[in-house]
Chains A and B, each alone.
Chain A
Amino acid sequence: MKIRSRRDKWFDVGNIMFMSAVVFVTLAPFWFAVVGSFNDGLDYLRGNVYLWPREFTIANYKAVFSDTTIYHAFFVTIGRTLIGMTTHVAFTALVAYGMSRKGLKGRNVYLVIMLTTMFFYGGLIPTYLLYKEIGLLNNFLVYIIPSLFSVWDMIIIMSFFRTIPEQIIESAKIDGAGEYRILLQLVIPLTTPVLAAIALFSGVHHWNSYMDAMMFTTKSSLEPVQFVLMRMVTDASYGESFSQQAMSAMPEEAKQVSSATLKLAMMVVATAPIVAIYPFLQKYFVKGVLIGSVKG
């Protein structure tokens, strides 16, 4: 007993050191980016801004928020993330449950139909024409409906559903529960960790997308945050490269903001909210599940 606990202690020390190292190397890039976003743009060109801003400024953030459309864009982004994430997990989990049952007729055919779509994509123009035909262009639903379902997420959820012992489901059936009730009351509570993970993946996907906004909408009332920011940054770096073409006519432009520091501020503004959500989702990952208690 004594030997084991000492071995345990060494293990813990080693593990904490290993984890601290991981924290250090993974935090560093993010930290540098945050620090850079608070640094003067012109000064940042000189590099070596790491631990702390060398010339502190909030000009980069001012520039990000000077375009007031960004507030509305946050509204759009939060809306699409919440709705998109919920509907995606619900829809995908539903299909996954059906697919997880070994007795499902036609299961292999379904699976082949599904897997094929993971590899073959028709391209942008056919997609555009399709969306036009079914009225998704310039419609908020273009953010929601095309990402309702993902084969990849379905397969992951399905594999988790399949770890639930068959007897549990069978005994529920004998008790007279229907498939939908089994899914809602038995299976989902047992697999919250994976559903939380998929929700996170989907939420991050929704939060970060801008291509769909660029391709399929033209209304500024539908612009998500990432789209507004992406344009801001390409515009800034474009302006800079353009001024080098000996064409720009703006002498002595205020230089507190450069495309590099603006990019960093943008990254912080765009990721801070989604990163802040993570700890709330985390409790679903850490909590262990007790299948035995259900069995008994």
Chain B
Amino acid sequence: MLPAGCSRRLVAEVQNALDSCAERQRQLERSLRVSRRLLQAWEPTETPAPEPTPRPETNEEAQFSACTPSPQDLKELELLTQALEKAARVRKHISKAGGDKAPSLKSEAIATSPASRTSAPAQSSRRAGSHTSQTKPPRSIRQTRFPAKNLPEHRLLSAVDATCKRGGAQAVKPDPGLRDQQTVPSAAAQAPEAFMLKDKGTLLQLPVAFRKAASRNSRLWAQLSSAQTGDSADAAASARTQFLQKMQTASGWPSASEVEAEVGRLQKACSLLRLRMEEELVADPEDWAQEQRCLLTLEGLQALVGQCLHRLSELRTASVEQPEGSRPGGSPPRGGGAEPVRSPQPLLYSSTRELQTLAALRLRVAMLDQQIHLEKVLMAELLPLVSQPAALGPSWPALCRAVHSLLCEGGERFLTVLRGDEPDD
């Protein structure tokens, strides 16, 4: 058993590490859910129709009768599909021009498929408005699967059922009598296909309002993070510093967050100094000049370490004088990223493998960081305990074994301890 204080601190540290890991996992899971959903077939969302439409029913006939098209709809439909075909042709030549004729992805997706000539239910419904309701994502057109001609009637019916099931009076309301229109059967047949990003992803287009807002956003961020020059900026800066000086009463005392920052710097200094020292120790000087250089460097490093220790003792005395404020629940943000805040820069990658390597390395670095921190904490708490075998008595070997595994093997392997006593006979 470990003593209470030690236990508390250790458990708190490890629990902290566990929590931060859990938090990352939660965020990842959220993103995963979204991404997975995007790669599956997109469900059409139920949008309220201008007139009440029957909810999905199992009665086929009822559905069919409810979906009887009006001649007017069909005529509009035909006009629209012709317009869309033309748009598709135009669009094929101009890659991604404007697209105001079909301002959203639906029509694009459907229109470009040659076999489609379709209802483009969403689009036409938006325009026509009367009987039609909106459907969400376009029906994906799998041209390979459904040839445009000679569709058997039963398939037509089932297609109609499916579209009607999707919530509303569709523009696709094929009257079997109107078979002469190529458009209708193919549309209907293809209607039950949901939108798949894999097939039609390249046809998506962001809505105009969003594009405008996004470009305005990046422009504003650029303006905000650009360096401020000019008289007014200087005047404001000097007014601010004057105000700060007036507020600063006596203290040259470092605040807790400044102490923290200083400690961080000293830590960094320590590791850089150590790195340098190890380089020098490993190097094998060949001639006198190199020897001298090595010696001078080591002496210089010694002096720097002395400076750091001096700074440390200054900090110590300063924090004695200052009352220790109770730490709030989360530590408040540090004085800050002095770095200008701006929209994130692009990070270009060329293959999924590359991206995975990148992400894996990043996580590995984070994990190593955490491991090193925990290692130091464990060392600080456990080594003193183990150094007094007498105090622990008979349980010492077991504790020592556990500590060895935790500290030296990352908790993954254990050594074996044997008693070398003489066996009794």
A binds B: no
